[in-house]
Amino acid sequence: MIKVFIIDDSIAVRSGFKKILTGIEDIQILGEANNPVDAFDEFKKVGLPDVFILDIEMPKMDGLTFLKKINEQRPTPVIMCSTLLTKGSSVLLDALRLGAFEVIEKPKLNVKNFLNEYKDDVLSYIRAACNAKIRYQKTIKTDVQEISKKITSTKPSSKIIAIGASTGGDQVIEEILTNLHAEHPAVVIVQHMPSGFTKTFALRLNGLCPHSEVVEAKDGDVLKIGKVYIAPGELHMEVKKEGFMYVIRLKDFPRVDFHKPSVTVLLTSVAKIAKTNAIGFVCTGMGVDGAKGLLKMKESGSKTYCQNEKTSTVYGMPKASVEAGAIDKELSVFEIIKTINETR
């Protein structure tokens, strides 16, 4: 039985979650509170849950402060539900970097109907979160200033590093990129994120990475040495070869493997044009996105890897890649970094 505790100052939101969770055989609503301070009083009576559903903006204590406090006691999966999602807020990115499992949008109107429409997604998140490996980083920086100018190469990249990730991937991608050496091959990334967040994500990473320029990809971008391109939310990203250069093309067509942008779309495009000049990685995440694309890369002659189960928050996408016969080897995050740094 998965025990869930809901902390949100909106009665409508709490009622909406209770409506969709009540009667589910493997889920129990352990309790609820309209703010974290009152929640701590409730924990004395009912104990701690397996999963939290948590708002950001609340009276007495905000959600980010609560996330830090609870994870210092016992790292616990947290699903964030906030109106800030539509704004691409850096606060929610901080929450993800601090170990939040997933973020979902809290609508301002028709809350109950909205949550009911996303019932299956909510149930999937809760069940996956219960078994997730939460990576709480106590010393994580949340006041990073953007580095406006960096010395990076203007040379087109002859090799491509293609990475796909979902749940837990924001932490993994940050760890990878902040440890890359200067003059690394161009890196193209699909991280499942809502529209509006990918630009904020790229800006944040750019401020953290000492040797890489990180940008939200634009149609027509030429892949260059030392540069990282994040696929924008709600658009597929492909890489095409135009002349002697690799160029990004953004496209708007239906979801592939339940996602847009899709890892499979990116990796399939790389398989067609880069072959032995590319390396593909599928990292932590729910679902199967990326497995078919990684297999195409392997069949074309590319080196292909996935993140190992031990270091994955959710071993869904990597497992699907293994089962598809799409990988050469499973790697830890440290080994992924080492592999990229050794590629020239």
Which of 184, 192, 236, 259 is the catalytic position? 192
- Residue-wise pLDDT for 194-245, tens only, equals 777 899 999 999 999 999 999 999 999 999 999 999 999 999 999 999 999 9
pLDDT, the chain, mean: 91
Which of the four pLDDT bands, split at 50, 70 and 90, describes residue 92? Answer: confident
Q: Residue 199 in contact with residue 235, Cβ under 8 Å?
A: no
166 is a catalytic site residue: yes
The reported pLDDT for the residue numbered 125 is 94
Which of 166, 262, 300, 321 is the catalytic position? 166
SS3 of 11, please? helix
Q: Is the pLDDT of residue 328 over 60?
A: yes
Q: How far apart (Å, rounded) are the C-alpha atoms in residues 284 and 52?
A: 21
Q: Is the pLDDT of residue 95 over 60?
A: yes
Non-local (6+) Cβ contacts of 13 within 8 A are 6, 55, 81, 106, 111, 115
The reported pLDDT for the residue numbered 140 is 47
Tell me the domains of the chain and their CATH numbers.
Answer: 2-130 (3.40.50.2300), 160-341 (3.40.50.180)
Which of 55, 170, 221, 289 is the catalytic position? 289
Q: Is the pLDDT of residue 284 over 80?
A: yes
The reported pLDDT for the residue numbered 231 is 98
Name beta bridge partners: 144. Answer: none
302 is a catalytic site residue: no
The reported pLDDT for the residue numbered 158 is 97
Q: How far apart (Å, rounded) are the C-alpha atoms in residues 78 and 69?
A: 12
Non-local (6+) Cβ contacts of 229 within 8 A are 186, 187, 188, 189, 215, 216, 217, 221, 223, 237, 248
β-bridge pairing 245-251 and 236-242: antiparallel
What mean pLDDT is predicted for residues 309-317?
96
**Alpha helices (H) along the chain:** 11-21, 36-46, 63-73, 90-97, 111-117, 119-130, 169-177, 197-208, 263-273, 291-300, 317-323, 333-341
192 is a catalytic site residue: yes
The reported pLDDT for the residue numbered 146 is 47
- Residue-wise pLDDT for 3-20, tens only, equals 999 999 999 889 989 989
